A and B are shown apart, each in its own frame.
Chain A
């Protein structure tokens, strides 16, 4: 009896011996401009080729401009990273979605939407949010740059076997409660280190009910609870998403027949289990400087119980006991590998349709494909009519490497994944929330409850 994780791991173990990490085969290696240049240099210094360039896919996302105008608006350092990646991909025959490609975008958005991420695969990338791809029943995790070099050279990774951890979301999530709220509730429950050494498998009715976009949001933030990976067993929702995508297998029916076996056997061993009642989760928002520090959007800022919470409140300049609702904000950011897919933009548009924003609002699609689809259904016109900025795709203000950033002291409601001190710009303060909450807060110019916004006439 095996878990889904065990099945995928065992199918990729090339070599295992006692007291050594496993040699684990990598099916898909994703590469971006920030964590790869030193790996390519290391490869060159050793005179090694890229073993399987066709199993490697590169995109530009972190240092890329989101204002129209392309490279001209990137600083010299960012431009050097983009040019280095382009040169290395050309040297080694690696497919690259550069800024002129119709497929360009955030690495964890473009690989799934191009059908490159399949159930049962191992997927790695020099980026901790690689956990996103676990939504397909892949084992996907972030690696360091020296591991990027290992995978380029050998298509394998040295890895210690983590333990499987069952995360159940039972019941039905209420209207207005999204995958983002579920994952923030989980992290609040088990803490930012609660999943260390483990791989989550998300199970239960509320997970089955999620779209692939929602499952990607859920798996994306597994790392914020310390788990390198999160997985959802593939089902008809997964297969319907993949059908017809460019990277889907030629023998799709044969692949689906194999993928159906990728499920945890009854009675398989999980090292740990946690269960949450999705029907009791409300829209969440963070108040502190770790993703575990969150409350329901209509709850007050909690009283600090330790030094970390006091330090977080100091940094955030929030007062315990006071409501977050009505707290004025400077910026709303809708984007990032967590929440920049078409479904996320539709959610934001539901709120912004016929309303005006009262704070600076950036809407940054996850990819060019998302941007085209959003424009085809008129979402861009809704955003622009509301006074929001409709941008080019990229990581943007999630980590503020490309010039999109908060000014010192500014407060944002952000659909991204990390509210660490200064993450969105030195001195910036971040409240993490769902696209619905971010859009409602944009309209109010202050933290708002989208359920209330939507109940009022636009």
Chain B
């Protein structure tokens, strides 16, 4: 995966809760054996509406998506973060994330930032007031900064190291081959 250090970008606001993976990418775009055509499928159901917020000019080159609670609920399709990445996103800021989506995103270098209620409300208010506002997401200090404001976020140290160094976690698993061998001899012959 591409390492993640610091990202400065405009913000695409999708201000609703419970955005499910069928909205992020509908099932009809999953009929691929590679990763083709996924950017086209991103929010395909909603994009048909000219008032969809991601049509706003200020979001055109946004690499940060700002959304509500429980983003990515529903199916396990990893096509959801693949589609967001294919469309240029590197970070999703939300109140909270569904478990499978968060894991899928982090394993692909898409940083998930869950802000507490007050910080989230402040960022939403500031981005709503000024759609051209730029935010900086800094992974090492685990901070989001915009204007004079700043918010901290938590992230497990394993995912953080993988993101900072661009490591695929499969390497960590493969390094435990001897332990897996021993387990299989004992428990799973």
Contact = CB atoms under 8 A, between A and B. Distances in A.
Interface of A: 11, 14-15, 19-21, 23, 25, 27, 34-35, 37-38, 41, 46, 51-52, 55, 62-63, 75, 77-78, 80-81, 84, 126-128, 130, 142-147, 149-150, 153-156, 158, 160, 162, 192-193, 196-197, 223, 226, 228, 290, 307-308, 311, 399-401, 418, 420-423, 426
A25 B99 contact: no
A15 B158 CA distance: 15
A439 B35 CA distance: 39
Given A25-B180, A27-B188, A35-B76, A308 B33 contact: no
Interface stretch (B21-29, B55-63, B145-153): B21-29
A229 to B, nearest CB: 10
A130 B23 CA distance: 21
Contacts of A226: 70, 73, 98-99
A14 B179 contact: yes
A197 B158 CA distance: 17
5 contacts: A21-B156, A147-B103, A154-B173, A192-B73, A423-B27
A364 B99 CA distance: 30
B180 A155 contact: yes
Contacts of A192: 18, 70, 73
Contacts of B35: 38
A355 to B, nearest CB: 32
Contact of B76 (A19, A142, A160, A162): A142
Contact of A158 (B69, B172, B183): B172
Given A15-B179, A155-B184, 17 more contacts: A14-B176, A20-B172, A25-B183, A35-B77, A81-B32, A142-B76, A144-B100, A144-B104, A146-B108, A154-B177, A155-B188, A308-B17, A399-B27, A418-B75, A421-B22, A422-B45, A423-B27
Nearest to B95: A193
A144 B103 contact: yes
State the 7 A-B residue pairs at the shortest beta-carbon distance, nearest first.
Answer: A77-B31, A144-B78, A37-B33, A144-B104, A142-B76, A193-B70, A145-B78
A27 to B, nearest CB: 7
Contacts of B23: 420-422
B22 A15 contact: no
A198 to B, nearest CB: 9
A307 B104 contact: no
Interface string B35-58: 100000000010000000000000
A399 B183 CA distance: 38
Given A20-B158, A193-B96, A399-B27, A143 B76 contact: yes
Interface of B: 16-18, 20, 22-23, 26-28, 30-35, 45, 69-70, 73-79, 96, 98-100, 103-104, 107-108, 156-158, 168-170, 172-174, 176-177, 179-180, 183-184, 187-188
A196 B96 contact: yes
A294 to B, nearest CB: 14
Contact of A78 (B31, B99, B100, B170): B31
Contacts of A41: 33-34
A192 B74 CA distance: 9
B44 to A, nearest CB: 8
Contact of B176 (A62, A84, A156, A308): A156
Contact of B107 (A84, A142, A146, A153): A146
Contacts of B18: 192-193, 290, 308
Contacts of B180: 14, 23, 25, 51, 154-156
A21 B184 CA distance: 20
A422 B33 contact: no
B53 to A, nearest CB: 13
B76 A128 contact: yes
A92 to B, nearest CB: 16
Contacts of A197: 99
B169 A150 contact: yes
Contacts of B98: 193, 196, 226
Contacts of A35: 30, 76-78
- Select the residue from B76, B78, B96, B177 with max chain A CB neighbours within 10 A: B76
A299 to B, nearest CB: 22
B16 A196 contact: no
B23 to A, nearest CB: 6
A155 B180 CA distance: 8
A37 B79 CA distance: 12
Contacts of B32: 37, 77, 81
A208 B31 CA distance: 40
Nearest to A23: B176
A153 B170 contact: yes
B33 A81 contact: yes
A451 to B, nearest CB: 31
Contacts of A27: 188
B99 A38 contact: no
Contact of A25 (B22, B76, B187): B187
